[in-house]
Structure 1
């Protein structure tokens, strides 16, 4: 496994500026992640602000119960023992609980969290625990219910789990029955080529599915299988037992809701003044909270002194909402703007590992942190990778393609066409162009002369000329088709290169699932990822296998 730095622009100016030009965005973010002094400063603040967070013992007690069910590794229990001690901090990051773990970027985020925790622990000389925040409270089923693999016939194949109800329920509260699990796993098995690892991989996945009633449970068990031995602690944001611990935070969010809304709006205006676009919706009257009513997750707004959803299914005064929180904390849920506040109120967060889009919307939250007497944690870009297998690398070398060529769609298509033209020994285009030019030079004067005999012959002659030219073009097209057929193997190589590295014109890590690589290389593939040096800047790297 060789690793090379290959720049890949995220398309998120705020995320780029966090690392490349921090002074320009320093008013949106608390700390420069590249400034080592900020790390010690953050630790000192965490030590002095223990009273602002949920009691460690109660938090760790619940995390221990949860991880014993889904992630019962000795290294995880050791991480939790450390977390129970004052002075221990965490590196945290999270993702929705996608089918079979979702896209590769989820794996890279887990690696980033663990490596960042190891790095900062060494630098600071104190324990730092890695925590993965499973966003089980999210309700966007269509975002998590599928995953993609590249099939042997070069189709980007989607495996999906459907649900009968259209209700927008949190993913951790949406049941997946055993028949649906079986169908999805059978599809995965059909798509994966035979390998020495396949039987064991499928048996293990079926066992996980048999013990999982939701995507979140299956996700947690998979992540525990792969990363538990590295001490990665798992937390489900929809855990009803954690909700009980979060009640004081929700109370503050409700009581100071107008102030929080104003803070988010001011931050959005700051971003617009920078020439950017806020990456999360800061709606007028938005409460930035969800309420779960009859299993459906409803976004709350403030209307006429009440907290209500848009469709009017529920409505509470502030006092009623606070009373409901006391009686049923499990019915409350954060949105993307209040989730960072909840995360920091639960955990002693030293740093938060985020994707570029997440860094962008976190730019809306610093004023909210300040309002609640908190400080935004240090933000760390997730490490980013593209995997190039040996066969693919040889094909790229054969056709003189660089990773940069494949990244740029126009350049890649031009390279493909240039290669195909080079295989054309007949020089089809120039020969057909010559024939059309010669034909026109001979035929057009004759048509003019025929028009002198009879006007109708001029019209007939031009129509006849167009038909002949159409036939020449038809033959050109058929000849080109034949040329492509004769060079089908090479063109399929080009197609595989593009589909492997930039499927759907997106970075590989945003589309494909990890099971392809586990099936090909075994569980050691995860261990090899863990050997790649940590990059605090989150620069994109290409892994050559």
Structure 2
């Protein structure tokens, strides 16, 4: 399958926040909040910083080997796990919660991005090794967000009464959704292969995190991607000093609040710390820990601990402590020899709040790379766009603006009163000169006359355009249809649609195409057109 790609700046799309646009443009206002610019020079500096602060590589490799037991994976994955023992091996990481069937398309895009960047860095720094890593946020308890997918604009919801960490939930009930997906996608060239993949991963797994692990491994093992499940007692042991300080002194909250205070002078804060930034995680519970008087209470439960009891619990059962958004990144960077984190706009925005926290704990702050974004356009939509004499990039604008552009182009400027307005302005400039020569106080009167003339002309121009647009009902419907298909829910395709229809259509080639067209450090939006 051939595809052609063109790139836009993130700013041109109109779908990214001011903080992200300023970050991408390396605006002076944002520079205090990150360490390494997104460049090869920045990468070299990130590598150097990480060489000085090595994680416990033996622990990491031991836990990964344990996790991969009984999982059929590629020789490249096994080799990459072993490679992590070497001090000149570094990781490029992305993270996401275990949304069912991967959730949205960008789940796939961010993984392809880490793989492509790791591959490029092997060429740029041949004396070092780079391993792509997916860090699974399986402790997230937001089932509303993680328990649904969209298929042909239908929202498919996993009906389950389970609570707690989504990654720990069993997969009962997903067979119904797979049956529904089969009804729609099995007729496609690779539909049956996709359904078998879903059945193998989800219906043969004890829980969601294992199912997600198997699915990512099936899709990306050939590229050497390592998946890590951080819901792990031994890995969390490495965070015990930080978790302890969070419980006793509430230090992280104080550090991050100061950063947010500075950042908030220009931007809206993405995430806010709590006094204690840990959840208690046990069985079907994942609830915040709160200090009430001298007791540590687990919100929405009857559980409570004295200071000595909670410290004993942390020492004996570290897996029962789950970091929130403020501490999650620190956990990741403590465990991994990481140099770059690839995340979406929202993720990058909250990481920009964390640099001082990393400095406080003497953990190297990774380079922050905004993940790749794609808009995939099938041939049938390309043809419709061309027939309207539009370009794909035009469609990033609101529907009415697209129609205005179309009408203006077709009428070749006939609806613009540019010449007439300029002629009127010239008349009033002459009148101003004459009036000023007689009495300067007359200028104000001429300017008032000018405003009374120009404004109705501008209104007339708008009315002419509105009247003409009414003749374009067919074109407007076509624009609506195209935008609805390419920008579902009036947002980016990747934030609504799922990978399954594309896999059913193109098979594994879909993953190869996304990898092939993935950028590394360019930081641009990619339009991918079926060739």
TM bucket, shorter chain:
0.7 to 0.9
| Match of residue 17, structure 1, among 14, 22, 25 | 22
Helix, strand or coil for the counterpart of 1:387?
strand
Q: Does 1:259 align with 2:264?
A: no
- Aligned match of 1:227: 220
- Aligned match of 1:543: 528
- Aligned match of 1:47: 51
Helix, strand or coil for the counterpart of 2:178?
helix
Offset, 1:361? 0.7
- Aligned match of 2:168: 173
Give the Cα–Cα distance (whole angstroms) in 1 for the partners of residues 481 and 185 of structure 2.
16
- Aligned match of 2:445: none
- Aligned match of 2:243: 250
CA offset digits 1:238-275 (Å, max 9, x no partner):
234533454444335435x42211111101101111x2
Give the Cα–Cα distance (whole angstroms) in 2 for the partners of residues 381 and 30 of structure 1.
15
- Aligned match of 1:328: 317
Helix, strand or coil for the counterpart of 1:542?
strand
Give the Cα–Cα distance (whole angstroms) in 2 for the partners of residues 265 and 313 of structure 1.
30
Q: Does 1:314 align with 2:303?
A: yes
Q: Does 1:74 align with 2:75?
A: yes
State the aligned residue count.
464
Offset, 1:542? 0.2
- Aligned match of 2:230: 237
Give the Cα–Cα distance (whole angstroms) in 1 for the partners of residues 202 and 282 of structure 2.
28
CA offset digits 1:3-26 (Å, max 9, x no partner):
001232443222222220243212
Give the Cα–Cα distance (whole angstroms) in 2 for the partners of residues 68 and 541 of structure 1.
38
**Residues 8-407 of structure 1: pairs in structure 2 closer than 5 A:** 8-34=13-39, 36-50=40-54, 53=55, 55-70=56-71, 72-125=73-126, 126-150=128-152, 156-165=153-162, 167=163, 169-177=164-172, 180-192=173-185, 194-255=187-248, 257-273=249-265, 275-283=266-274, 286-311=275-300, 313-407=302-396
Report if aligned partners of 2:168, 2:208 keep a CA contact under 8 Å in 1.
no
Helix, strand or coil for the counterpart of 2:117?
helix
Helix, strand or coil for the counterpart of 1:500?
helix
CA offset digits 1:313-366 (Å, max 9, x no partner):
333344322111112222110000101110111001111111111111111111
Report if aligned partners of 2:104, 2:495 keep a CA contact under 8 Å in 1.
yes
Offset, 1:128? 0.9
Offset, 1:109? 0.2
Give the Cα–Cα distance (whole angstroms) in 2 for the partners of residues 294 and 218 of structure 1.
18
Give the Cα–Cα distance (whole angstroms) in 1 for the partners of residues 283 and 187 of structure 2.
45
Distance 1:44 1:22, change over 3 A: same
Offset, 1:531? 1.4
More displaced, 532-541 or 236-245? 236-245
Report if aligned partners of 1:18, 1:32 keep a CA contact under 8 Å in 2.
no
- Aligned match of 2:490: 505
Give the Cα–Cα distance (whole angstroms) in 2 for the partners of residues 247 and 388 of structure 1.
48
Give the Cα–Cα distance (whole angstroms) in 2 for the partners of residues 16 and 71 of structure 1.
41
Helix, strand or coil for the counterpart of 1:338?
helix
Report if aligned partners of 1:12, 1:360 keep a CA contact under 8 Å in 2.
no
Offset, 1:46? 1.7
Q: Does 1:521 align with 2:506?
A: yes
Give the Cα–Cα distance (whole angstroms) in 2 for the partners of residues 293 and 57 of structure 1.
27
Q: Does 1:5 align with 2:10?
A: no
Offset, 1:69? 4.0
Distance 1:192 1:384, change over 3 A: same
Report if aligned partners of 1:70, 1:217 keep a CA contact under 8 Å in 2.
no
Report if aligned partners of 1:148, 1:511 keep a CA contact under 8 Å in 2.
yes
Report if aligned partners of 1:247, 1:326 keep a CA contact under 8 Å in 2.
yes
Distance 1:343 1:175, change over 3 A: same
Offset, 1:492? 6.9
Offset, 1:201? 2.0
Give the Cα–Cα distance (whole angstroms) in 1 for the partners of residues 510 and 283 of structure 2.
43
Report if aligned partners of 2:120, 2:520 keep a CA contact under 8 Å in 1.
no
Give the Cα–Cα distance (whole angstroms) in 2 for the partners of residues 318 and 186 of structure 1.
50
Gaps spanning 5+ residues in structure 2: where?
Answer: 412-469
Offset, 1:110? 0.2
Give the Cα–Cα distance (whole angstroms) in 1 for the partners of residues 335 and 66 of structure 2.
16
